[in-house]
A = this chain, B = another copy of it.
Amino acid sequence: MILHDFLPSGNGYKIRLLCACLGLKVTLKQYDITKGETHTESFLAMNPNGKIPVLQLDDGQCLSESNAIILYLAEQYKSALLPTDAILRAKVYKWLFWEQYSHEPNIASPRFWLTHNAMTDLKKQMLPDRIQQGHAALKQMEETLAKQTFLVGDSITLADICLFPYTHVAEEGGAYQLTEHPNIQRWIKDIEALDWFIPITQD
Protein backbone atom coordinates (compact mmCIF):
# COMPACT_ATOMS: atom_id res chain seq x y z
CA MET A 1 0.00 0.00 0.00
CA ILE A 2 1.12 3.56 -0.71
CA LEU A 3 0.18 6.38 1.64
CA HIS A 4 0.12 9.72 -0.20
CA ASP A 5 0.80 12.13 2.63
CA PHE A 6 2.44 15.27 4.05
CA LEU A 7 4.47 14.50 7.18
CA PRO A 8 3.33 17.46 9.39
CA SER A 9 -0.34 16.54 8.67
CA GLY A 10 -2.25 15.21 11.64
CA ASN A 11 -4.75 13.67 9.24
CA GLY A 12 -1.98 11.62 7.64
CA TYR A 13 -0.49 10.83 11.05
CA LYS A 14 -3.75 9.12 12.11
CA ILE A 15 -3.08 6.51 9.43
CA ARG A 16 0.66 6.23 10.14
CA LEU A 17 -0.12 5.74 13.84
CA LEU A 18 -2.75 3.08 13.11
CA CYS A 19 -0.39 1.27 10.71
CA ALA A 20 2.28 1.29 13.44
CA CYS A 21 -0.23 -0.21 15.88
CA LEU A 22 -1.34 -2.87 13.38
CA GLY A 23 2.23 -3.63 12.29
CA LEU A 24 1.41 -2.69 8.68
CA LYS A 25 4.08 -1.53 6.27
CA VAL A 26 3.06 1.28 3.93
CA THR A 27 5.23 3.14 1.44
CA LEU A 28 5.07 6.87 2.06
CA LYS A 29 4.87 9.26 -0.88
CA GLN A 30 5.18 12.85 0.23
CA TYR A 31 3.55 15.98 -1.19
CA ASP A 32 4.14 19.57 -0.13
CA ILE A 33 0.59 20.83 0.35
CA THR A 34 1.88 24.40 0.68
CA LYS A 35 3.10 24.22 -2.95
CA GLY A 36 -0.11 22.92 -4.52
CA GLU A 37 1.32 19.45 -5.09
CA THR A 38 -2.09 17.86 -4.35
CA HIS A 39 -3.80 19.86 -7.10
CA THR A 40 -2.06 18.26 -10.08
CA GLU A 41 -4.06 16.26 -12.60
CA SER A 42 -2.52 12.97 -11.42
CA PHE A 43 -3.31 13.70 -7.76
CA LEU A 44 -6.89 14.77 -8.54
CA ALA A 45 -7.37 11.46 -10.35
CA MET A 46 -6.69 9.75 -6.99
CA ASN A 47 -8.75 12.22 -4.92
CA PRO A 48 -10.94 14.82 -6.68
CA ASN A 49 -10.96 16.71 -3.36
CA GLY A 50 -7.23 17.49 -3.85
CA LYS A 51 -6.23 16.53 -0.32
CA ILE A 52 -3.85 14.19 1.43
CA PRO A 53 -4.00 11.59 2.89
CA VAL A 54 -4.85 9.10 0.17
CA LEU A 55 -4.31 5.38 0.73
CA GLN A 56 -3.58 3.58 -2.51
CA LEU A 57 -4.29 -0.13 -2.19
CA ASP A 58 -2.22 -2.81 -3.88
CA ASP A 59 -4.81 -3.13 -6.66
CA GLY A 60 -4.51 0.63 -7.37
CA GLN A 61 -7.80 1.69 -5.77
CA CYS A 62 -7.54 4.95 -3.82
CA LEU A 63 -9.27 5.74 -0.53
CA SER A 64 -9.55 9.27 0.85
CA GLU A 65 -10.70 11.03 4.04
CA SER A 66 -8.41 10.13 6.95
CA ASN A 67 -11.17 8.89 9.25
CA ALA A 68 -12.70 6.75 6.49
CA ILE A 69 -9.27 5.21 5.92
CA ILE A 70 -8.69 4.35 9.58
CA LEU A 71 -12.18 2.80 9.79
CA TYR A 72 -11.42 0.76 6.67
CA LEU A 73 -8.05 -0.46 8.00
CA ALA A 74 -9.41 -1.27 11.46
CA GLU A 75 -12.23 -3.33 9.90
CA GLN A 76 -9.95 -4.97 7.38
CA TYR A 77 -7.48 -6.09 10.06
CA LYS A 78 -10.22 -6.85 12.62
CA SER A 79 -8.54 -4.54 15.12
CA ALA A 80 -9.88 -4.29 18.67
CA LEU A 81 -9.47 -0.52 18.20
CA LEU A 82 -12.91 -0.71 16.55
CA PRO A 83 -15.08 -2.47 19.16
CA THR A 84 -17.62 -5.08 18.04
CA ASP A 85 -20.18 -3.84 20.61
CA ALA A 86 -22.70 -1.65 18.76
CA ILE A 87 -22.88 1.14 21.37
CA LEU A 88 -19.11 1.36 21.75
CA ARG A 89 -18.76 1.48 17.95
CA ALA A 90 -21.34 4.30 17.83
CA LYS A 91 -19.27 6.18 20.42
CA VAL A 92 -16.12 5.70 18.32
CA TYR A 93 -18.01 7.00 15.27
CA LYS A 94 -19.23 9.96 17.37
CA TRP A 95 -15.68 11.05 18.17
CA LEU A 96 -14.53 10.58 14.54
CA PHE A 97 -17.25 12.85 13.14
CA TRP A 98 -16.91 15.28 16.05
CA GLU A 99 -13.19 15.51 15.28
CA GLN A 100 -13.83 16.57 11.69
CA TYR A 101 -16.52 19.13 12.56
CA SER A 102 -15.74 20.47 16.02
CA HIS A 103 -12.02 19.81 16.61
CA GLU A 104 -10.00 19.84 13.37
CA PRO A 105 -11.26 23.19 11.96
CA ASN A 106 -10.67 24.87 15.34
CA ILE A 107 -7.39 23.26 16.40
CA ALA A 108 -5.64 22.00 13.27
CA SER A 109 -6.53 24.87 10.93
CA PRO A 110 -5.29 27.70 13.25
CA ARG A 111 -2.09 25.65 13.86
CA PHE A 112 -1.57 25.44 10.09
CA TRP A 113 -2.29 29.15 9.54
CA LEU A 114 0.07 30.15 12.37
CA THR A 115 2.95 27.75 11.62
CA HIS A 116 2.88 27.66 7.80
CA ASN A 117 2.73 31.38 7.11
CA ALA A 118 -0.84 30.94 5.85
CA MET A 119 -2.50 33.79 7.75
CA THR A 120 -4.71 36.24 5.85
CA ASP A 121 -6.74 39.23 7.05
CA LEU A 122 -9.94 37.17 6.93
CA LYS A 123 -8.36 34.28 8.85
CA LYS A 124 -7.10 36.77 11.47
CA GLN A 125 -10.69 37.87 11.97
CA MET A 126 -11.96 34.27 12.08
CA LEU A 127 -9.30 33.24 14.62
CA PRO A 128 -10.98 34.38 17.90
CA ASP A 129 -14.16 32.42 17.12
CA ARG A 130 -12.16 29.35 16.05
CA ILE A 131 -10.09 29.53 19.25
CA GLN A 132 -13.22 29.85 21.39
CA GLN A 133 -14.66 26.73 19.74
CA GLY A 134 -11.30 24.96 20.03
CA HIS A 135 -11.28 25.64 23.78
CA ALA A 136 -14.79 24.18 23.98
CA ALA A 137 -13.60 21.09 22.09
CA LEU A 138 -10.59 20.58 24.38
CA LYS A 139 -12.89 21.04 27.41
CA GLN A 140 -15.11 18.20 26.18
CA MET A 141 -12.08 15.94 25.77
CA GLU A 142 -10.73 16.97 29.19
CA GLU A 143 -14.05 16.21 30.92
CA THR A 144 -14.26 12.81 29.23
CA LEU A 145 -10.64 11.94 30.06
CA ALA A 146 -11.18 12.99 33.69
CA LYS A 147 -13.68 10.12 33.99
CA GLN A 148 -11.94 7.40 31.99
CA THR A 149 -8.52 6.44 30.60
CA PHE A 150 -9.40 6.80 26.93
CA LEU A 151 -12.12 8.58 24.95
CA VAL A 152 -14.50 5.61 24.71
CA GLY A 153 -13.75 3.92 28.05
CA ASP A 154 -10.69 2.35 29.60
CA SER A 155 -9.33 0.76 26.42
CA ILE A 156 -7.75 2.58 23.53
CA THR A 157 -9.90 2.81 20.37
CA LEU A 158 -9.84 4.47 16.96
CA ALA A 159 -11.27 7.55 18.69
CA ASP A 160 -7.91 8.06 20.44
CA ILE A 161 -5.94 7.33 17.24
CA CYS A 162 -8.10 9.96 15.52
CA LEU A 163 -7.92 12.67 18.22
CA PHE A 164 -4.30 12.25 19.30
CA PRO A 165 -2.58 13.76 16.21
CA TYR A 166 -3.94 17.31 16.27
CA THR A 167 -4.44 17.41 20.04
CA HIS A 168 -0.83 16.61 20.94
CA VAL A 169 0.43 19.46 18.73
CA ALA A 170 -2.40 21.86 19.65
CA GLU A 171 0.10 24.21 21.28
CA GLU A 172 1.99 24.75 18.01
CA GLY A 173 1.16 28.23 16.78
CA GLY A 174 0.44 29.44 20.30
CA ALA A 175 -3.37 29.41 20.32
CA TYR A 176 -3.75 26.71 23.01
CA GLN A 177 -2.11 25.71 26.30
CA LEU A 178 -2.45 22.05 27.23
CA THR A 179 -1.39 22.78 30.82
CA GLU A 180 -5.01 23.87 31.29
CA HIS A 181 -6.04 20.29 30.54
CA PRO A 182 -4.16 17.89 32.86
CA ASN A 183 -6.16 14.85 31.81
CA ILE A 184 -5.44 15.49 28.14
CA GLN A 185 -1.76 15.75 29.07
CA ARG A 186 -1.97 12.43 30.98
CA TRP A 187 -3.73 10.80 27.98
CA ILE A 188 -1.02 12.08 25.59
CA LYS A 189 1.67 10.54 27.83
CA ASP A 190 -0.26 7.25 28.00
CA ILE A 191 -0.40 7.05 24.20
CA GLU A 192 3.25 8.08 23.78
CA ALA A 193 4.22 5.26 26.17
CA LEU A 194 2.63 2.52 24.03
CA ASP A 195 5.26 0.21 22.57
CA TRP A 196 4.11 0.70 18.97
CA PHE A 197 3.98 4.51 19.24
CA ILE A 198 5.71 6.55 16.53
CA PRO A 199 6.08 10.36 16.47
CA ILE A 200 4.32 12.55 13.89
CA THR A 201 7.37 13.14 11.70
CA GLN A 202 8.38 9.48 11.43
CA ASP A 203 7.18 7.54 8.42
| A-to-B contact residues, CB < 8 Å | 48-49, 61, 63-69, 71-72, 75-76, 86-87, 89-91, 93-94, 96-98, 100-102, 104-105, 122, 125-126, 129, 140, 143
Contacts and interface: CB of A to CB of B under 8 A. Distances in A.
Contact of A89 (B75, B90, B100, B126): B75
B100 A87 contact: no
A147 to B, nearest CB: 11
Contact of A126 (B48, B126, B143): B126
B94 A65 contact: yes
A194 to B, nearest CB: 25
Q: What copy number does this chain have within its complex?
A: 2
A97 B98 contact: no
A19 to B, nearest CB: 15
Contacts of A68: 90-91, 93-94, 96-97
Given A86-B75, A93-B68, A101 B100 contact: yes
B104 A90 contact: no
Given A122-B125, A125-B122, A94 B63 contact: yes
A197 to B, nearest CB: 25
A93 B65 contact: yes
